[in-house]
Amino acid sequence: MCGIIGYVGKKEALPIILDGLHRLEYRGYDSAGVAVQSSVGIKTARAVGKVAALAERCEGKSLAGTAGIGHTRWATHGKPSEKNTHPHTDCTKSFFIAHNGIIENFQELKEQLSKIGHTFKSETDSEVIAHLIEDAYKKTLNLEQAVQSALRKLRGTYGLAVISSLEPERIIAARMGSPIVIGFGEGENFVASDASPLLSYTRTMLYLEDGEMATLTPQAHTVRTLNDKIVMRSAEMIEWDANKIQKGGFSHFTLKEIMEGPKVIENTLRGRLIAEGGLARLGGLQTISEKLRTAKRIIIIACGTAFHAAQVGEYMLEEYAGIPVEVEFASEFRYRKPIINSETIVIAISQSGETADTLEAIREAKRKGATVLGIVNIVGSTIAREVDAGVYNHAGPEVSVLSTKAYISQLVVLALLTIHIGRERQMSLSVGRRIAKELQELPKKMEKIFESAKNIKSLAKKYAKYEHMLYLGRKYNFATAFEGALKVKEASYIHAEGCGAGEMKHGFIAMIDKEFPTVAMALQDSVYDKMLSNIQEIKARSGRVFAIATEGDKKVAKFADDVVFIPQTLEMLSPILAVIPLQLFAYYLTLERNLDPDRPRNLAKSVTVE
């Protein structure tokens, strides 16, 4: 959601900034802009639409210079338009800012600034920051102090990059609730909203904390708080490399990341599974092992796809670890009065580690005395830093807005956590061994599902004409149905609804007719016969059924119109395999409808504002 890139050094800034903006496209955006310091002031270019449109606009402008900032905007205040595109400036065009986040008191500040003569040219909340800096600079004649003064007046969230023609070869970056990372090179430094645009230039990075501000020049950097206290913190080495954020011969990141599923499982399991002992070694949880052993309850908080993973985890942990589990939308968690104490474990799941609602829910849980664990994919992310302990996914960078391989990794981590906690409680050695053995078998079983890709593609061609779909599932694949429906909604814009199969007769069945097909999770598990009954009820009402079934099942084909088979595995692990045909189905549906699966409209990869 919005993206920032900044460069100060010896090289031409524009190519680096445009490259960074291209790499930030996965975050979701509607417009993009750049501001570059030249020998005659700061020059800008803006464009609505793709970064490619901005690059074309830059070709006709003189944008030479060795320092600058760029931004991809996802509209919050003000519709997508050139005047609302960042970077924004002040009345004197001396200060330019790129801002992620929402300024909650911008209207109040705008009115105050207007009364003293400031003129605003956009509808955004962000523009007030540039005018506040302009106003403060008149008194301080110091960019750092002016930015500090401006930020103290803001209420809300920001990830910020600032340049000024009055103090060239300098970038100020700041963070409050929206991620900012600083990258370090030789004779050059960088700022960005995440690590991905920097990996081609450096792997040495430092993540700002809330309330911190960094000043970058080609040769140096300083980090201080808004209260002007110097912060001394070591940089981190990021393990990912730029090649992992390329399509690697695939037509879209979405397909590449689906196909990486088997490798993701192997990476998530590596060094963690002790198959012979039926154990899971999760080093990130060592410091809280006693609290896990004695916990009375677990609450899992998440949003979107991570929420669906949490729902599967609820079944796993309750059935095999014998501990009560609740799953909550992170976006609603702190608006209730959750009953939490020191015997409660709260688990936060977030691919990005920056999800604003999940982060605030974590802080609320910690205030109430819970021990908080994180399951995140991004090393060094805010959630990873703020939880008491946690487990990294090791899924690698996920670029497509659609979360696919991260979901697989989240389910595998939850299975490992189930073994880890279960073996400390009531899980027997034989059960632990059986789960461990089946986890090791998953990659090759997933590879077998990919052999059905051509069949799934042909089914997508058949179903692409429909505007509505129902997804049905029960027990472990209750959440799989909702995740499958979410992927179709996100990418193809077909109206798809997830439904617990037991709830079908409580309203959903009224929608069924020949124009409203159903995708049914009909695996040979403990709820198989009930799912077959659901399918027959749909067929009796002229509904078309596409079933996901278990290899060797000849019965389901008598009732369903179309079937894709997946290998048999433990019921608790079946969602890891069952979601793959649904991900591929959503991908191919999207192509059939001539849409871009990597960048769905109105969506962002990381939701960093409420």
Q: Residues 2, 58, 303, 499: which is the catalytic one?
A: 2
Is 303 considered catalytic here?
no
Q: What's the rounded Cα separation, in Å, for the pair 602 and 75?
A: 9
Give the CA distances from residue 273 to residues 11, 158, 277, 279, 505, in Å, rounded to whole numbers and listed in that order.
Answer: 47, 40, 9, 6, 42
**HSE, side-chain direction, 13 A CA sphere, residue 143:** 24
Between CA 228 and CA 161 the distance in angstroms is 18
Task: Tell whether omega for the bond before 87 is within 30 degrees of 0, i.e. cis.
Answer: yes
* 413 Cβ neighbours under 8 A, 6+ residues apart: 268, 375, 391, 393
Burial state string for 53-63 with b = 16 or more CB within 10 A and e = fewer than 16: ebbebbeeeeb
In angstroms, the CA 57 to CA 589 distance is 34
Residue of 43, 50, 405, 605 marked catalytic? 605
Summarize the chain as % helix, strand, coil (round to 5).
40, 25, 35
- Give SS3 for 557: helix
SS3 state at 146: helix
DSSP state of 209: P
Distance CA 393, CA 411 (A): 10
Q: Does 462 qualify as catalytic in the annotation? A: no
CA 334 to chain centre: 20
Cross-strand partners of 174? 160, 213
**Interior angle at CA 21, CA 54 and CA 259, nearest 5:** 120
Token output for 75: 């509209």
Summary count for the chain: helices (H), strands (E): 18, 26
Question: Side chain identity at 348, as an amino acid letter?
Answer: A
**Alpha helices, DSSP H, located in 297-401:** 304-316, 330-333, 356-367, 382-386
- 90-120 as b/e: b if 16+ CB within 10 A: bbeebbbbbbbbbbeebeebbebbeeeebeb
- Separation of alpha carbons 358 and 502, rounded Å: 30
- Distance separating alpha carbons of residues 507 and 475, to the nearest angstrom: 19
Helix/strand/coil for 186: coil
Cβ proximity of 526 and 571 under 8 Å: yes
Backbone angles phi, psi at 99, to 5 degrees: -130, 130
Q: Which residues contact 355 (CB under 8 A, 6 or more apart)?
A: 303, 306, 330, 383, 606, 607, 608
- What is the distance between the alpha carbons of residues 245 and 258, in angstroms, rounded to a whole number? 14
Helix (H) or strand (E) holding 128: helix 127-140
Here the tokens at position 83 are 């005047």
The strand pairing partners of 500, in sequence order, are 473
Q: How far apart are CA 52 and CA 121, in angstroms?
A: 25
Q: How many CB atoms lie within 10 A of CB 48?
A: 18
By annotation, the residues acting in catalysis are: 2, 605
